């Protein structure tokens, strides 16, 4: 006879090891408000530090580089990334979009490193909607700035095209931009985080020694790179759409 009580207890014990939540690490008060330093902040801080170290190292390497010398590994990686993103910007936005290359490069590297941080045992910052929504808002503000800068009054009258009664739908479409960008990235990264936590927490230890490594390739590397590309590609498409009416 199966001992249902023992089975339930074992399941609950295993379930207790499942952890994919954001944790508060340090509580402090500011202007009378209770605030927390969370695992998301730590993850973003570490990613930012890594990117700054990488940028400084590449900058120093390039400044010391001699045209006659063979480029080192670090310089080759930096040139490969820059050339790849430059081609992506030119292919989607054209020559007029080159002024956005620095923003797209920064956005791409930040999101990519955040997504890949799960490989190091961190909870990816992009699995926190506060992070992805912030990125969506920044991109949305840039889109609207370009829209007003290039189209002037047309940025507002365009909401009434092709017919005036479509104004509410057009307005909702504009407002939905940061939500669609942020929710797509957040949902995909969070789903991978939850699934990996379930695998580590619910499966026997001898099974988790091999299977997670294969799943990390998909959820952290493949999916992380794809979602980074999608976010940046949509950003470029939205900006280009607002630049399209410029004569």
Residue 246 has pLDDT above 70, yes or no: no
Residue 185 has pLDDT above 90, yes or no: yes
Stretch 114-140: mean pLDDT: 91
Cα dihedral 34, 39, 44, 49, rounded to 10, equals 110
How does pLDDT run across 149-159, given as a tens digit for each residue?
A: 888 888 888 88
How does pLDDT run across 66-97, given as a tens digit for each residue?
A: 767 777 788 888 888 888 888 889 888 888 88
Q: Count of domains in the chain?
A: 1
Beta bridge partners of 30: 33
Of 84-88, 109-113, 218-222, the poorest mean pLDDT is in 218-222
Tell me, yes or no, whether 150 lies in a domain.
yes
Residue 207 has pLDDT above 70, yes or no: no
Tell me, yes or no, whether 55 lies in a domain.
no
Inter-residue contact 117 to 229 (CB < 8 Å): no
From residue 186, alpha-carbon distances to 12, 112, 189 in Å are 28, 13, 5
pLDDT of residue 122: 83
Tell me, yes or no, whether 91 lies in a domain.
yes
pLDDT of residue 14: 44
Tell me, yes or no, whether 179 lies in a domain.
yes
Tell me, yes or no, whether 160 lies in a domain.
yes
Of 18-27, 109-118, 229-238, the poorest mean pLDDT is in 18-27
pLDDT of residue 45: 93
Q: CA 232, CA 175: separation in Å to the nearest integer?
A: 18
Q: CA 104, CA 98: separation in Å to the nearest integer?
A: 10
Which is nearest to 59 in space by CA: 73, 45, 71, 75? 75
pLDDT of residue 50: 93
Tell me, yes or no, whether 161 lies in a domain.
yes
Tell me, yes or no, whether 218 lies in a domain.
yes
Beta bridge partners of 35: 28
Residue 13 has pLDDT above 60, yes or no: no
Stretch 157-175: mean pLDDT: 88
pLDDT of residue 131: 94
pLDDT of residue 211: 61
Stretch 186-200: mean pLDDT: 83
Q: CA 72, CA 127: separation in Å to the nearest integer?
A: 35
Percent of the chain with pLDDT over 90: 32
Tell me, yes or no, whether 99 lies in a domain.
yes
| Domain that includes residue 182, residue range | 68-120+127-243
- 18 versus 228: the higher-pLDDT residue is 228
pLDDT of residue 184: 93
Residue 112 has pLDDT above 70, yes or no: yes
State pTM to two decimals.
0.83
pLDDT of residue 16: 45
Residue 198 has pLDDT above 90, yes or no: no
């Amino acid at each position: 006879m199966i001992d249902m009580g023992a089975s339930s207890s074992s399941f609950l014990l295993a379930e207790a090891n499942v952890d994919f939540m954001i944790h508060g690490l340090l509580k402090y008060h500011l202007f009378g408000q209770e605030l927390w330093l969370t695992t998301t902040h730590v993850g973003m801080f570490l990613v930012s530090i890594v990117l700054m170290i990488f940028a400084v190292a590449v900058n120093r390497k390039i400044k010391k580089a001699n045209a006659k010398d063979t480029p080192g590994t670090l310089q080759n990686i930096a040139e490969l990334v820059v050339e790849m993103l430059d081609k992506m910007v030119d292919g989607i936005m054209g020559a007029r979009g080159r002024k956005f290359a620095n923003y797209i490069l920064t956005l791409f590297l930040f999101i990519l490193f955040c997504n890949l941080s799960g490989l190091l045992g961190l909870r990816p910052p992009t699995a926190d909607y506060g992070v992805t929504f912030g990125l969506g808002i920044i991109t949305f503000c840039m889109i609207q700035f370009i829209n007003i800068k290039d189209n002037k009054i047309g940025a507002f009258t365009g909401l009434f095209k092709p017919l005036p009664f479509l104004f509410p739908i057009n307005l909702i479409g504009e407002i939905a931009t940061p939500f669609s960008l942020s929710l797509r990235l957040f949902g995909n990264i969070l789903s991978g985080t939850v699934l990996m936590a379930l695998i580590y927490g619910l499966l026997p230890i001898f099974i988790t020694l091999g299977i997670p490594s294969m799943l990390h390739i998909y959820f952290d590397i493949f999916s992380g790179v794809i979602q980074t590309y999608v976010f940046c590609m949509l950003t470029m498409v939205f900006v280009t759409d607002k630049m399209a009416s410029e004569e």
